[in-house]
């Protein structure tokens, strides 16, 4: 399947032309970003926590300490909404009303489940590490048995998924185009500065290429 | 009061030293960021939507079209969790396990209510516009009556609030410091590129200062 099938809650009621169900388009957003906001319900109230994530095919993985409140709740298989948002620019229109933001976001609804299989867990941690810093896994000490046990990994299969994308210039009311007001887009993006060596790093160890020229895959540099 | 009073759900169970309840520290994060992720419960399931926001004193405002699903639900006064996250850097440790992210986040729990008073609504829209682009409001056409009616504004009073902050270098296990692995921090921040004029902009109108040198208040440039 090259697209996700819209469901009631992934069908955009407002501005449906911004909706996107194409699998490749969704994956591109998920692969460029690395922080999601996970929503879940605790004591009938919503809770939203920022965390990083990894994608393997149609599955999203999040992880954390076994002590974290979110992951303790999720352990039993909990309904979540994982939202990933990239901000591309500020859209300045001639009227306050038509100001907007260029962005790309993905919402994934579903039930997250604990990963028990140690091999799948280790693979998820590998992809997780390499998703945030491509190439990092092969350089570092891998988790030992105790660390693996202390890390909960949760999987959310991507079935109910939608992306929402806004691009382009402001759209003003026709009569506002004559106003003497600057209008346009201020592009925004996340950039990396030069890496900062840890104070205890021996002087003969230089930052690797992935730290010296860090950029998100697919991101405009 | 210079601090928010921790409650059961704003007390960090894990890594409590990262918790922050100081009002000025919370406001600084909220003023530097401009996107939040709002979580609410719809049909017993969590939904998380990215949106921009404004702060006036101890109140947070979000807005949107009267047609939006989130704001329709919120209109009756709905429990929300508003989460604001700033990503400051990637923390590369010598072990996979101790990799981390430097970030500043704020969670606000409470019940959002519709703003009915037209004057408060207009003021919120002004602060909203100037929060995203300081100085913009005075330059643009303000909302007319129809636009004001089409815009729902919701207010969330900040009572149950916590911030969480991680800064600094990786913290490795003592025996890992001898590993020949680069470790340190890759600083990240959001930058603005040169503004892009709208195609229909008359050539004599130049981008204003706030578009030419856009930066978030308090952000490291």
Give the range among A101-105, A130-134, A185-189, B6-10 with minimum mean pLDDT.
B6-10
Residue in chain A lying closest to B69 (CA): A13
Alpha helices (H) along A37-117:
69-74
Kindly indicate the confidence band of residue A10, based on its pLDDT and cuts at 50, 70 and 90.
Answer: confident
Three-class SS string for chain B? CCECCCCHHHCCCCCHHHEECEHHHHHHHHHHCCEEEEEEEECCEEEEEEEECEEECCEEEEEEECCCHHHHHHCCCEEEEEEEEEEEEEEECCEHHHCEEEEEEEEEEEEEEECCCHHHHHHHHHHHHHHHCCCCHHHCECCCHHHHHHEEEEEEECCEEEEEEECCCCCCCHHHHHCCCCCEEEEEEEEECCCEECCCCCCCCCCCHHHHCCCCCCCCC
Work out the minimum CA distance from A91 to partner chain B, whole angstroms: 10
Express each pLDDT in B74-88 by its tens digit: 657 889 999 999 999
Complex prediction ipTM: 0.93
Express each pLDDT in A13-66 by its tens digit: 666 777 778 999 999 999 999 999 999 998 899 999 999 999 999 999 998 765
Express each pLDDT in A68-80 by its tens digit: 666 666 657 889 9
**Distance, C-alpha A22 to centroid of its chain:** 17
Coil, strand or helix at A165: strand
Q: Which stretch of DSSP H or E encloses residue B41?
A: strand B35-42
**Short-list B45, B42, B35, CA closest to B70:** B42
Using a CB-CB cut-off of 8 Å, the residues of chain A touching B207 are: 182, 184
Is A169 within 8 Å of B196 when comparing Cβ atoms? Answer: yes
The pLDDT, as a whole number, for residue B210 is 97
DSSP B50-72: EEE-EEETTEEEEEEETT-HHHH
Is B39 within 8 Å of A47 when comparing Cβ atoms? Answer: yes
Express each pLDDT in B122-141 by its tens digit: 999 999 999 999 999 999 99
A8-212: CATH homologous superfamily? Electron Transport, Fmn-binding Protein; Chain A (2.30.110.10)
CA B144 to CA B122: how far, in whole Å?
A: 10
Give the range among A3-12, A186-195, B24-33 with minimum mean pLDDT.
A3-12
The pLDDT, as a whole number, for residue B20 is 79
> What are B138's two structure tokens?
């005075």
List the single residue in B107, B141, B214 with the smallest CB-CB distance to A96. Answer: B141
Residue ranges per structural domain of chain B: 8-212
Using a CB-CB cut-off of 8 Å, the residues of chain B touching A125 are: 96
Express each pLDDT in A84-138 by its tens digit: 999 999 999 999 999 999 999 999 999 999 998 999 999 999 999 999 999 999 9
């Amino acid at each position: 399947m090259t697209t996700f099938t819209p469901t009631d809650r992934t069908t955009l009621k407002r501005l449906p032309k911004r909706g996107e169900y194409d699998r490749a388009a969704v994956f591109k957003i998920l692969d460029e970003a690395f922080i999601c906001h996970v929503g879940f319900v605790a004591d009938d109230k919503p809770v939203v926590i920022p965390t990083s994530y990894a994608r393997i095919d149609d599955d999203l993985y999040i992880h954390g300490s076994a002590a974290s409140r979110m992951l303790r709740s999720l352990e039993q298989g909990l309904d979540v909404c994982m939202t990933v948002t990239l901000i591309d620019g500020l859209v300045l229109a001639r009227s306050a009303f038509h100001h907007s933001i260029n962005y790309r976001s993905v919402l994934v609804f579903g039930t997250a489940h604990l990963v028990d299989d140690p091999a799948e867990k280790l693979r998820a941690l590998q992809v997780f590490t390499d998703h945030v810093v491509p190439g990092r896994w092969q350089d570092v000490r891998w988790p030992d048995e105790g660390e693996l046990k202390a890390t909960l990994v949760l999987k959310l299969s991507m079935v109910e998924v939608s992306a929402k994308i806004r691009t382009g210039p402001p759209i003003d009311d026709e009569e506002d185009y004559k106003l003497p007001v600057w209008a346009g887009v201020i592009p925004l993006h996340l950039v990396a500065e030069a890496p900062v060596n840890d104070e205890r790093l021996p002087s003969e160890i230089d930052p690797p290429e992935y730290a010296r020229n860090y950029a998100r895959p697919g991101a405009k540099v």
